[in-house]
Amino acid sequence: MSTTEINKTLKIAAESDERIREISKIKSLLNRPDFGAMSGVVLVFVFFSMIANDSGMFAADGILNWTTVSAQLGILAIGACLLMIAGEFDLSMGSMIGFAGMVIAIPAIYWQWPVWASILLAFSMAMSLGALIGYIVVKTKLPSFIVSLAFLFILRGLTIALSIFFTNKTIISGVDDAAQNDWLAPLFGGEVATSFFNWLGSIGFIETFNDGSPLVSGIPMVIVWCLVLAVFCNWLLFCTPFGNWIFAAGGDAKAAKNVGVPVDKVKILLFMLTAFCATLYASCQVLEFGSAAADRGLLKEFEAIIAVVIGGTLLTGGYGSVIGALCGALIFGVVQMGIFFTNISSDWFRVFLGIMLLAAVLFNNYIRNRITRA
The residues, any chain, with a CB within 8 Å of residue 314's CB and separated by 6 or more, are 84, 85, 320, 364, 365, 368
**Number of shown-chain residues binding another protein (CB under 8 A):** 29
Q: Which of 197, 225, 319, 341 binds another protein (CB under 8 A)?
A: 319
Minimum gap (Å) between residue 258 Cβ and another protein: 4
Q: Which of 4-12, 116-124, 176-184, 245-253 is the region at the interface with another protein (rule: CB under 8 A)? A: 245-253
Q: Does 365 bind another protein (CB under 8 A)?
A: no
Distances (CA, A) of 321 to 38, 43, 63, 317: 11, 20, 25, 11
Contact between 368 and another protein by CB under 8 A: the answer reads: yes
Q: Given the rule CB under 8 A, which of 106-114, 144-152, 222-230, 251-259 is the region that contacts another protein?
A: 251-259
Stretch that binds another protein, among 116-124, 242-250, 333-341, 350-358 (CB under 8 A): 242-250
CB of residue 316 to another protein, shortest distance in Å: 9
Toward another protein, which CB reaches closer, 25 or 254? 254
CB of 374 to another protein, least distance (A): 5
Quickly count: other Cβ atoms within 10 Å of residue 129's Cβ: 24
Output the smallest distance, CB 373 to another protein, in A.
7
Q: Does 247 bind another protein (CB under 8 A)?
A: yes
Applying CB under 8 A, among 1, 2, 19, 180 the residue interacting with another protein is 19
Is residue 293 within 8 Å of residue 171, measured between CB atoms? yes
> 58: helix, coil or strand?
coil
The one among 55, 191, 244, 344 contacting another protein by CB under 8 A: 244
Please name every residue paired with 219 in a beta bridge, in sequence order, or none if there are none: 192
Dist CA 99 CA 283 (whole Å)? 11
User: What is the rounded CA–CA span in Å between residue 139 and residue 257?
Assistant: 15
Which residues have a Cβ under 8 Å from the Cβ of 215 and sit 6 or more positions away?
60, 61, 201, 206, 207, 208, 209
Contact pick of 29, 228, 239, 351 for another protein (by CB under 8 A): 239
Q: How many CB atoms lie within 10 A of CB 203?
A: 7
Q: Is 24 in the site for another protein (CB under 8 A)?
A: no
CA-to-CA distance for 270 and 124, rounded, in angstroms? 15
**CA-based nearest residue to 294, from 111, 124, 106, 52:** 106
Q: Does 243 bind another protein (CB under 8 A)?
A: yes
Among the listed ranges 1-9, 232-240, 277-285, 338-346, the one in contact with another protein (CB under 8 A) is: 232-240
C-alpha closest to that of 284 among 131, 117, 63, 73: 73
261 touches another protein by CB under 8 A? yes
Q: Shortest distance, CB of residue 268 to another protein, whole angstroms?
A: 18
Do 62 and 341 contact (CB within 8 A), yes or no? yes
**Is there binding between residue 235 and another protein (CB under 8 A)?**
yes
**By CB under 8 A, is residue 260 in contact with another protein?**
yes
Segment (H or E) for 24:
none
Within the chain, what is the greatest distance between any pair of CA atoms? 92
Q: Is 372 in the site for another protein (CB under 8 A)?
A: yes
Nearer residue to another protein within complex by CB, 2 or 372: 372
3-state SS of the chain: helix, strand, coil percent to 5?
Answer: 70, 5, 25
Could you say which of 112, 180, 195, 258 contacts another protein (CB under 8 A)? Answer: 258
Which residues here bind another protein, judged by CB under 8 A?
18-20, 235, 239-241, 243-245, 247-248, 251-252, 254-256, 258-261, 314, 318-319, 368, 371-374
